Structure 1
Amino acid sequence: MGYLRATLRATDRIVGRWLLVCSGMVAGAVILGGVTRLTESGLSMVDWHLVKEMKPPTTENEWEEEFKKYQQFPEFKILNHDMTLTEFKFIWYMEYSHRMWGRAVGLAYILPAIYFWRKGWLNRSMKGGVLFLCSFVCFQGLLGWYMVKSGLEEKADSYDIPRVSQYRLAAHLGSALVLYCASLWSGMSLLLPHHKLPETHQVLKLRRFARGTAGLVFFTALSGAFVAGLDAGLVYNSFPKMGNHWIPEDLLTFSPVLKNVFENPTTVQFDHRLLGISSVVAITVMYLFSRKIALPRRTKKALKYLLAVAYLQVTLGISTLLLYVPTPLAATHQSGSLALLSMALWLMHEIRRLPK
């Protein structure tokens, strides 16, 4: 019986590490996708084939054919009509890297899942979770192509810069964040020992505070998709004011009013600022409140890391804005949102209620 329990613990550790690796690969896909967006490379591959497109062009004729296909679409006609083949190769390889990484993520989920399932290493609840993760990673790939298609369509207002729909971009990022969070949480649940915290009023309040803060961090990261989709980081490059005003005059110029939240670059940037500052304030207040509670050492460490990453992230965000969104700094800021979300999840996991 003791041998069986030891074996189960060993297999749980293996599955837990696999899930953490998968979450890391999803994080890599999110970061690479952000760089692809920042370098305006996402619309360079105009076809989607699961297997056929895995082989890149190798000859000059093949590259010319690929370039000709790109030239038929709005981004080339309106924005990149003077692009050279060499320049096209750069943006093509950026998008190609993102798509191939996405396929690698899919394989990293599906192939080990089949192996673990057949070996009997997954209990009933774990099987349900693994099925969800594997299905969701496939859905994420399809959603990515659905997003790209929106940037390849001819628009009535053809004078505008071709870009993917910010709604589809947010959906694509949001689903990636859900996949990341689910994988990270599942991995931690198998690897980190449970804390037996007393169910005091203060602990219950801290638990609610941690959940609310994690939700705020998630929605702040998601709002970044609307900032990226509308290039809203380029409209007001000053802080703390937006231009000469605390509340810009063009905040609610669209009609109906709700449209501003998702389509007005000024409002989108304003909301992202507000969410970011609110996240830092909430984390700071939660940290100060937690100092009154006797918590395990690992939980205190999670709180300190969350606070440190929050202030680093807001510093990166302000610097990105003031320096007019340089690609390396903007990519680091996008990566920071994942780091902050990870710390928030870690804290939630540390103080979660134990199963009965």
Structure 2
Amino acid sequence: MTSLSLSPAAGPQRSAAAPKAVAVWLLVCAGMVFAMAIIGAITRLTESGLSITEWKPVTGALPPLSEAQWLAEFEKYRQIPEYQLLKRGMSLEEFKGIYFWEWLHRLWGRLIGVVFLLPFVWFWVRGQVSRALAPTLAGLFLLGGLQGFIGWFMVQSGLTERTDVSHYRLALHLGMAFLIYAALLKVALGLLDPAPAPQPAAGRLRPHAWAALALLGVTIVWGAFVAGINAGFAYNTWPLMGGTLAPAEMWTQTPVWLNLLENTAAVQFVHRWLAVVTALVVLSLCWQAWRTGGGTRLRGVAAGLAAATVAQVGLGIATLLSVVWIPLATAHQGGALVLTGLLVWTLHLLRPPETPRQATPLTATPLTEMPAPR
């Protein structure tokens, strides 16, 4: 008796559009994470983050709907140090203004969870998620849940003894947002373009691109430190800080290394010069991509990356000179997201070609000859 073949050709065909549909869904999720980071920036810049003093993942989706509920929420806010030491005398209408941004930030996080989970289940049930991809998507969902917990962990740090949140926890929260955003883009690009054309000098450009992305990540972390300790208000001139490149106030704390993490002058100094070094490394990468005769798509991405880098440096300087004007500071955070996305795209285009593997059809164990009936 011949063997029973269970090769894909013998069964129902998976739609060729399935990977594209999954990729588009992931890009929508990445766009929502981008918007979430922008809303988070506004929430931080308007000092709205501590206006909701409880974490209610389900019932907290609804804002106060009556005057009594608003007064109850306001009374909770009036018990924390931020109100008692910095915002005493705030009116109920002013409280509603800051409450809106924190509520919107949390609501948007819930929406991202729904927009991720429901299509994930739908694609999985329909067989449009491969076995290799399913654990990655499940991991991304778990990262999103962890990010929600980190957000509350950050808020909690400002409810008892401090008048603001821990800048270390703020950096963790922001860093996780960028990680999720980059991971969503990476997976989506892998589905849309699973085998990008080989690029000249990709082996040399790839470590350069990874170095640029790593530097950008460190710069973003110090940007979160700048925001968390209000270091952006310390020196609002460029390129000098108080008439010098490195003000003496940078080294007032002990041990010395702590200044780099908690001294407003030193933290701003580190962020400034990390940004300069990162920009030079990124621009060098873009130049190398053009000089080595990369493909049309790589050159286009490199040109966009160079333009975004120059714009981001300009936004950073403008944010300083404007004494942290909220629209500029928000755009500056958005610029960091754009740079992250373009570097992820660059790395995708520089992927080493995969070694072709012969597809092995799924076959059942051959059946042995049955003895002839007597």
Shorter-chain TM range is over 0.9
Please tell me whether residue 113 in structure 1 is matched to residue 120 in structure 2. yes
Change (3 A) 1:114 1:81: same
Query: Deviation of residue 291 (structure 1)?
Result: 2.6
Query: Deviation of residue 293 (structure 1)?
Result: 1.2
Letter in 2 for 1:145: W
Structure 2 distance, partners of 1:145, 1:295, is 45
Higher relative contact order (CA 8 A, sep 6+): 2
Matches within 5 A, 1:260-299: 260-299=259-298
Structure 2 distance, partners of 1:338, 1:289, is 23
Please tell me the root mean square deviation across aligned C-alpha atoms, in Å: 1.6
Verify the 8 A CA contact 1:252 1:267 in the aligned structure 2: yes
Q: Which moved more, 1:37-46 or 1:203-212?
A: 203-212
Return the structure number with greater helix share: 1
Please tell me whether residue 319 in structure 1 is matched to residue 318 in structure 2. yes
Structure 2 distance, partners of 1:4, 1:252, is 70
Query: Deviation of residue 193 (structure 1)?
Result: 5.1
2:156 counterpart (130, 149, 153): 149
Residue 177 of structure 1 aligns with which residue? 178
Verify the 8 A CA contact 2:14 2:128 in the aligned structure 1: no
Verify the 8 A CA contact 1:13 1:191 in the aligned structure 2: yes
Q: Which moved more, 1:283-292 or 1:126-135?
A: 283-292
Deviations 1:234-287 (A, max 9, x none): 001010011111111111221112211211111111111111111111122222
TM-score by length of 2: 0.90
Deviations 1:103-140 (A, max 9, x none): 00111111111111111111122011011101110000
Deviations 1:296-340 (A, max 9, x none): 100100100000000000000000101100111110111111011
Deviations 1:194-229 (A, max 9, x none): 23326x6x3311111111111111221222111110
Q: Which moved more, 1:48-57 or 1:92-101?
A: 48-57
Verify the 8 A CA contact 1:203 1:293 in the aligned structure 2: no
Structure 1 distance, partners of 2:280, 2:11, is 48
Letter in 2 for 1:26: V
Residue 224 of structure 1 aligns with which residue? 223
Verify the 8 A CA contact 2:202 2:352 in the aligned structure 1: no
Residue 159 of structure 1 aligns with which residue? none
Q: Give the paired residue count.
A: 348
Query: Deviation of residue 3 (structure 1)?
Result: 11
Please tell me whether residue 192 in structure 1 is matched to residue 193 in structure 2. yes
Q: Secondary structure at the match of 1:9?
A: coil
Residue 55 of structure 2 aligns with which residue? 48
Please tell me whether residue 123 in structure 1 is matched to residue 130 in structure 2. yes
TM-score by length of 1: 0.94
Residue 20 of structure 1 aligns with which residue? 27
Identity of aligned residues (%): 39
Structure 2 distance, partners of 1:91, 1:104, is 20
Deviations 1:15-45 (A, max 9, x none): 1111111111111111110110000000000
Structure 2 distance, partners of 1:140, 1:281, is 32
Verify the 8 A CA contact 1:44 1:70 in the aligned structure 2: yes
Please tell me whether residue 78 in structure 1 is matched to residue 85 in structure 2. yes
If you compute each CA radius of gyration, which structure gives the higher value, 1 or 2? Answer: 2
Please tell me whether residue 96 in structure 1 is matched to residue 95 in structure 2. no
